[in-house]
Chains A and B, each alone.
Chain A
Amino acid sequence: MAEATYVRAQEYLAPETLVQLAPFELRAKMIVEGVMSGMHRSPYQGMAVEFAEHRQYVPGDDLKHLDWKVYGRTDKLYIKQYQQETTLDVIPLVDASASMSYGSLEVKSGWGGTPASRRRNIWTKFDHATAVAAAIAYLSLHNQDRVGLAVFADELGTVVSRSGARAQWRRVVNALSGEPVKAKTNLAKISDQVISKIGNRALFVIISDLFDDLESIRQSLARFRHRRHDVILLQTLDRQELRFTFSQPAPFLGLEGEGRLRIDPRMLRQGYLEALRRHTDEVARLALEFGFDYHRLDTHESVAPALTYLLARRNAQIKRSKAG
């Protein structure tokens, strides 16, 4: 079992992925509460090594935190405050609804994937989502952060409790080795279930095609925001879904029980792309509205470049906020 897990883990973490992700840290935009010292800033100031700000001395303060340099220049007593580097709880939420089983790309060597995709020789959106989740989990554990996992559709499926242990990554990978279920995505319901299990604030990485109602997505993001969690929305779409390049009339069969639709795809391409664009635009707008990150992934592209871009952008935002 251990050997099998090891092999799968290797497939999830392609060398080029690790190489590209290594320079980045998965920093939360929000300062979260950590129980272990890590690279993430803690709101509990005092013992940490990184200076945060000055405040006037009040009786009872520890004198060792007095800034004598300021006192020498101004004759006023100020206490130096520091931010503590804390650990980060990173929880990928992987969508395993029926729509995630779509794929139009043959599985390539080294891309990993689920047993189902290897059987069908198709790289599905779910495969891509699990690869992304595995990469994020590996990176987080590498940064001494705690990592959890939830696989969902209309209900919570497999859940991996948060942990920073070395064996945690394998548990995550094991949990990702399942298959999509024949159910629709229900983010609003899932967010309720997840939030109820997480006491402290955490970074949720929602990896899904987000083929859900916009209202459900909005409710979900609002609840995360309300509980002051950070969220990264990774909308995972197949390239065929993004481009819709079918050229022959054919019946289309909905994976989530929508029925059969006989169309000439060339005729509907423009309308389809407009509808998809409206949906993704709206999701992105909702993410922006709640202060979350949104990124759209193409399953035909490697996981690493997209994650690299995302992490770099987050780091840049954090540095800008520190400078400000």
Chain B
Amino acid sequence: MSVVTIGLLVAGAASVSVPILIHLLSRHRRRPIEWAAMRFLFEALRKYRWRVRMEQLLLLAVRCLILLVLGAALARPILNAAGVGSTGGLRVVLLIIDNGMTSAARVEVAGELTPELTESIAQAVELVGSLGRGDLVGLVTAARPARGLLVPPSADRSAVIDLLESIEPAESPTDLPGALGVVQSVLKDLPPDRVNTLVYLFSGFRRGAASLEVPLPGVLVDLAERTTLLASPAAQHPILNIQVAGLTPLRGLILPQRGRGQASSAQITVSLARFGAPLDRGVTRVRLVGADLGHVEPKVIQWEPGQQETTVDFLLSFSGRGKKALPVTAVIEEDALTADNQRHIVLAAREKVRVLLVDRRSFGAEPGIEQLGAGAWIHRALVPTDQSPMDVIEVDPAALEPLDLRGADGVILVRPDLLAQDGWLVLRKFVDGGGLLLVVPPGQSNIHQWTDRLNETFALPWHIELEVVEPAEGLALAPKQPASELLRFLSGELEGLTRPVLAYRVLPVDGKRTQAQRILNFADGSALLIAGSPRQIDADPDTAGVPRGLVLYLAVSPELSWSNLPAKPLMVPLFHELLRQGIGMIRTSRLYTVGHQPRLGLGPAAASLLGPDGRRVQIDATGRAREPLGRAGLWRVLDQADQTLGAVAVNVEPDAGRTDPQPQAAVTQWLGTSGPWEVFDPADPASALKTAQTGSPLAGLLLLVVAALVALETALARFSSHATRPARQRFATGVVPPVTGGAAPIGGG
């Protein structure tokens, strides 16, 4: 059984103490009565002691019960519901207010531009005002995350109206499935006597709020018998909205340019989209701003009629030295929706890329070129000259510790066969924190049992064979390689670079049992280089789009006994690009959107996030924000001492800003999957209430119980007070007949 105004229930329960207090206080405030006939009082008390005590206890219990039941009854509240001075009664009205991003779209109402949400709230307020005093109202907001603003429903209409008027458009998209889920749980928690429930859905059902391609869950179908579902009509006014749909850097990792001092540069592509109508010819001015960004000349985009998307490139120059995070924001002019007129990104910048090479160190004289191991070849490839942006640190696989990985951007595991169990866990943690791991088979082995540990540790959908395969003639690479972001900058020359490469020994990937992104393929179709992200242990929807790190596997060991790759031109650019692009991809893939409660993976030092509006969100031990991020913008990452560790960019979801109106029929059909919705008249949203039933058997029952208890209390009080008029006398017929007439009667006049 649920109650609406829990305070009244508590007050009712607390008021039980009132008669007890009165009883106790009244014991001490009476002046004593001097009395002569005490012997008869004592005699009566001896005889009636238990009876009197039981009567008092019973009376006290009944009085307490009256207050308790009355408190529970008022908590509903049911007085009005039972028809005492009210036209309402036992109706439960749940209001779903779509305050998603598109609700901020301004429409013209009475000659003024007003957000659609304002209009919805006005309708809802009118509806609440027309309810009876016994009706209960619940409030659910549909912006992600959908939440019950007033759940369970309350009879305090003024509080409901205050809450309604405090609702503002969110920057997150509409989450109607979530809102319906909240409504479903509220309806299920209602007591069975609440048979008359109405659900009002206030939304414009623009495309950003209602994705008609994704069917709604049928959560209200089972409750349709006792629930009336009413939705506002779909908005039909076209609203033109231009948004910054994307902000894509050419490279996610910014390194200083050789020969340009300490300055760094980057190329960024800004994507714009137009929604709604009319898509006429137009002009949009795009600016890029950032704390470490010098002056960037704004660019003007000319829209052609009907054009919906466009891009514009910016070449940026950063002045900040030593900074690892370079925030950039793209801004366009104000339009119908403000929230998507900006987009933010935090670019990763390094003076040098720090790479950990996990290999068994060799001592003594340097071997000849034929005997150089994979680690040595990779080291040479990464640091071919002193000007290399790579900083390679060699670590023995048996001694790998978390401390070694502090500050590292990537790890190249050359001797996985020598890695201890703890070492695998250290690498898993590194990758989960956003690191890049490249694994190559150890050149000395033919049987590679370490692959099982790789699969177990990273839960990768890979299957790497245990045994090395040695093609007779050497295996060439495929002339046509798959498109890959990792080798995007080599794509133009990749065919020429891969042509001379041959593999003599391969630790192959079972292509049929492996789901991985192919980066390079052999000519026979088998994989030379694959990439993948570790599978998340917990299925967390808020982090589903946030890759934690990247694991690469090269099927040949880069030493001459396995392949001629070390001696070919592909070797140096391959490893440079894998590391640089891989790290950049990981950094730029951290896309946080408004309304989510993401697992951030910012490391153990991160304690909280400080939003652009000054709001602070704590980060729990697992690295997850304790509450949804409610505003788009650059959020500062703070440690326990409130020192800034960095920044993360939180953006609105591009689809949330789609202001295209949708046909009413399509919207009605879409809504129909969740329950039998009807469209209410926005000019008179309360009209549906008039046909609603009133009354509740439980309400009446509770009042009857109270009335019965009151009657019982009256009877008990009268009985226990012995206030009845006693019989005239029994002396007339008693054992003492002589005294009649003139004798003073006992017990009455």
Give A residues with C-beta under 8 Å from B: 98-102, 125, 209, 211, 237-239, 241-244, 246-256, 258, 260-264, 266-277, 279-281, 284-285, 288, 293-298, 301, 305-306, 309-310, 313
B250 to chain A, nearest CB (A): 92
Q: Is B402 an interface residue (CB 8 A)?
A: no
Q: Are A281 and B44 in contact (CB under 8 A)?
A: no
A310 engages B35 (CB within 8 Å): no
Question: Is A297 in contact with B744, judged by CB distance below 8 angstroms?
Answer: yes
Q: Is the CB of A255 within 8 A of B739?
A: no
Contact between B722 and A267, CB atoms less than 8 A apart:
yes
A296 B743 Cβ-Cβ under 8 A: yes
Q: Are B41 and A284 in contact (CB under 8 A)?
A: no
Question: B130: which A residues are within 8 A, CB to CB?
Answer: none
Known: A279-B40, A295-B739, A295-B743. Contact between A252 and B45, CB under 8 A? no
Report yes or no: B32 in contact with A260, Cβ–Cβ below 8 A: yes
B30 contacts the other chain (Cβ, under 8 Å)?
A: yes
Q: Are A276 and B742 in contact (CB under 8 A)?
A: no
Q: Which residues of A contact B736 (CB under 8 A)?
A: 280-281, 284-285, 288, 294
B746 within 8 A of A: yes
Is B665 an interface position by the 8 A CB rule? Answer: no
Separation of A247 and B736 alpha carbons in the complex (Å) = 30
B456 to chain A, nearest CB (A): 81
CB distance from B631 to the nearest CB of A (A): 65
How many Å from the CB of B720 to the closest CB on chain A? 6
Number of B interface residues, CB 8 Å?
Answer: 44
Q: Once the chains bind, are A253 and B721 in contact (CB under 8 Å)?
A: no
Expressed in whole angstroms, the Cα–Cα distance for A250 and B746 within the complex equals 22
**Chain B residues near A209 (CB-CB < 8 A):** 36-37
Q: B37 — nearest CB in chain A belongs to which residue? A: A241
Q: Which one of A251, A252, A281 has the highest number of Cβ atoms from chain B below 10 Å of its Cβ?
A: A252
Considering only residues 589-603 of chain B, those with a C-beta below 8 Å from chain A are: none
- Which among A249, A269, A297, A306 is the interface contact of B722 at CB below 8 angstroms? A269
Q: CB within 8 Å of A: which of B721-735?
A: 721-723, 726, 730-731, 734-735
Are B744 and A262 in contact, with the CB atoms below 8 A? no
Do the beta carbons of A241 and B738 come within 8 Å of each other? Answer: no
B36 touches A99 (CB 8 A): yes
Judging by beta carbons under 8 Å apart, are B43 and A271 in contact? yes
A248 near B30: Cβ-Cβ < 8 Å: yes
Q: Decide: B739 and A271 in contact? CB cutoff 8 A.
A: no
Asked if A273 and B726 make an inter-chain contact with CB atoms under 8 angstroms apart, the answer reads yes
Are the CB atoms of B43 and A280 closer together than 8 Å?
Answer: no
Question: Is B34 an interface residue when CB atoms closer than 8 A count as contact?
Answer: yes
CB neighbours of A251 from chain B (8 A): 30, 32-33
In the complex, besides A268-B45, A276-B40, A310-B742, 12 extra interface pairs with C-beta distance below 8 angstroms are A99-B37, A241-B36, A249-B26, A250-B32, A258-B42, A266-B720, A275-B40, A281-B735, A294-B739, A296-B739, A309-B742, A313-B738
Complex interface: chain B residues within 8 A of A101 (CB):
36
Contact with A along B36-63 (1 / 0, CB 8 A): 1111111111011000100110000000
Q: Which of B495-538 contact A (CB under 8 A)?
A: none
CB < 8 Å neighbour of A264 from B43, B47, B56, B743: B56
Interface flag for B215 (CB, 8 Å): no
Q: Are B27 and A262 in contact (CB under 8 A)?
A: yes
Assembly CA distance A277 to B32 (angstroms) = 25
Tell me if B56 and A252 are in contact (CB < 8 A): no
- Check if B744 sits within 8 Å of A237, measured CB to CB: yes
Q: Chain A residues near B52 (CB, 8 Å)?
A: 263-264, 267-268
A277 and B44 within 8 A (CB) = no
CB neighbours of B40 from chain A (8 A):
272, 275-276, 279
Min CB gap A68→B, angstroms: 44
- Least CB distance, A294 to chain B, in whole angstroms: 6
* Residue among B37, B723, B739 with the highest chain A CB neighbour number at 10 A: B37
Q: Please report the C-alpha to C-alpha distance between residue A243 and residue B748 in the assembled complex, in whole angstroms.
A: 5
Q: Is the CB of A280 within 8 A of B746?
A: yes
Q: Is B260 among interface residues, defined by CB-CB distance under 8 A?
A: no
Taking CB as reference atom, which chain A residue is nearest B741?
Answer: A309
Confirm or deny: B361 has a beta carbon within 8 angstroms of a beta carbon on chain A. no
- A207 to B: closest C-beta gap in Å: 14
Q: Please judge, given known A-B contacts A253-B33, A253-B35, whether A270 and B722 are in contact too, CB under 8 Å.
A: yes
What's the minimum C-beta distance from A10 to chain B, rounded to whole angstroms?
25
